[in-house]
């Protein structure tokens, strides 16, 4: 029997409907949420991602502006732009689209965005608050989206064995931190697996909830999944496919066709985690605007 699909598009739409009322209330107080996107270079995927985020902002009533800088931009030039955006009172959020050119250190850039405008959740202050269980900070959008998928799909995390594949700063580490906190949709026992983990398959087979965020195309096979487990696929990988229009196609970190026959619930890819990442960005921006009233 095929697994039940966790529909990220439907859940994201539900969240955006909830945010519509909050945006309307902000406007009654004379505040329109504002979000700045910063894109450096000509990375094709970045163009697509920023375009989707701009469209979502427009649909919700968030005013967005995009700042494009050429590939050769220096770190100092980018920092100068961020200083201006930090001081702009009409902007409540700033998102610097990754990846950045090699001459720019991501850690420096993320630390330069004011914590109260860091709607990506990457500033050390917000990461620190996440680790401490302080809910006043902003959580990184993708793991926050996964949490909402679990909550709104009725997945019980308390006491569950969760395996997170990947230890990246954007998904893996914050995902594990969220799930092991005391509180709503957490209280799980979390294992992080990575490239140096011995016998990853054995770890995966223990998981009640398996979250794949390794960046390896279709890594998770059916024989790595416990029957009835919840499988969340965060991966985005491009593989060659002569039958596809452009000679390639996007796949996740999970071999979906095989795993859906074993899992109890599973996210499709696309249509699972991706829409939730944007929904959480919108939610963080609305929260930032609400905080500006205090």
Q: Which active-site residues does the annotation give?
A: 53, 97, 120
Which residue shows structure tokens 């770190």?
75
CA angle 20, 272, 4 (to 5 degrees): 110
Token digits of residue 32: 């329109």
Cα 277 from chain centroid (whole Å): 4
Q: Which helix (H) or strand (E) holds 39?
A: strand 34-40
The radius of gyration of the chain's CA atoms, rounded to the nearest angstrom, is 19
DSSP letter, residue 266: E
Residue 105 CB-density burial (10 A; 0-12 exposed, 13-18 middle, 19+ buried):
exposed
* Partners of residue 63 on adjacent β-strands: 34
Which residue shows structure tokens 């029957």?
227
Q: Which of 197, 188, 172, 262 is nearest to 225 (CA)?
A: 262
What lies within 8 Å, CB to CB, of 86 at 6+ separation is: 94, 112, 113, 114, 117
- SS3 assignment, position 248: strand
Bridge pairing between strands 93-96 and 161-165: unpaired
User: Which ranges of the chain would DSSP assign to H, the alpha helix?
Assistant: 8-28, 44-60, 75-87, 106-112, 124-132, 141-152, 172-179, 200-206, 256-259, 273-292
Number of alpha carbons in the 13 Å side-chain half-sphere of residue 72: 0
At 65, give phi and psi (nearest 5°): -140, 140
């Amino acid at each position: 029997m095929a697994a039940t699909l966790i529909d990220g598009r439907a859940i994201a739409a539900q969240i955006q409907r909830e945010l519509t009322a909050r945006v309307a209330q902000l406007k009654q107080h004379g505040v329109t949420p504002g979000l700045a996107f910063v894109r450096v270079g000509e990375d094709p995927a970045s163009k697509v991602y920023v375009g989707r985020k701009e469209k979502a902002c427009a649909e919700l009533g968030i005013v967005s502006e995009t700042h494009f800088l050429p590939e050769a931009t220096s770190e100092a030039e980018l920092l100068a732009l961020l200083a201006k955006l930090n001081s702009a009172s009409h902007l409540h959020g700033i998102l610097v689209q990754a990846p950045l050119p090699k001459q720019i250190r991501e850690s420096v850039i993320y630390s330069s965005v004011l914590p109260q405008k860091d709607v990506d959740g990457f500033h050390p202050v917000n990461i620190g608050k996440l680790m401490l269980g302080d809910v006043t900070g902003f959580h990184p959008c993708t793991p926050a989206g996964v949490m909402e998928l679990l909550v709104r799909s009725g997945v019980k995390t308390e006491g569950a064995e969760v395996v997170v594949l990947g230890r990246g700063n954007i998904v893996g580490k914050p995902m594990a931190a969220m799930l092991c906190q005391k509180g709503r949709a957490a209280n799980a026992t979390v294992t992080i697996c990575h490239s140096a983990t011995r016998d990853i398959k054995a770890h995966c087979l223990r998981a009640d909830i398996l979250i794949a965020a390794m960046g390896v195309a279709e890594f998770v096979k059916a024989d790595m999944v416990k029957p009835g487990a919840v499988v969340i696929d965060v991966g985005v990988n491009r593989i060659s496919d002569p039958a596809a229009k452009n000679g390639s196609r996007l796949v996740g970190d999970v071999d979906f066709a095989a795993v859906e026959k074993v899992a109890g619930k599973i996210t499709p890819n696309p249509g699972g985690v991706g829409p939730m990442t944007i929904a959480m960005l919108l939610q963080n921006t609305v929260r930032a605007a609400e905080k500006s009233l205090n």
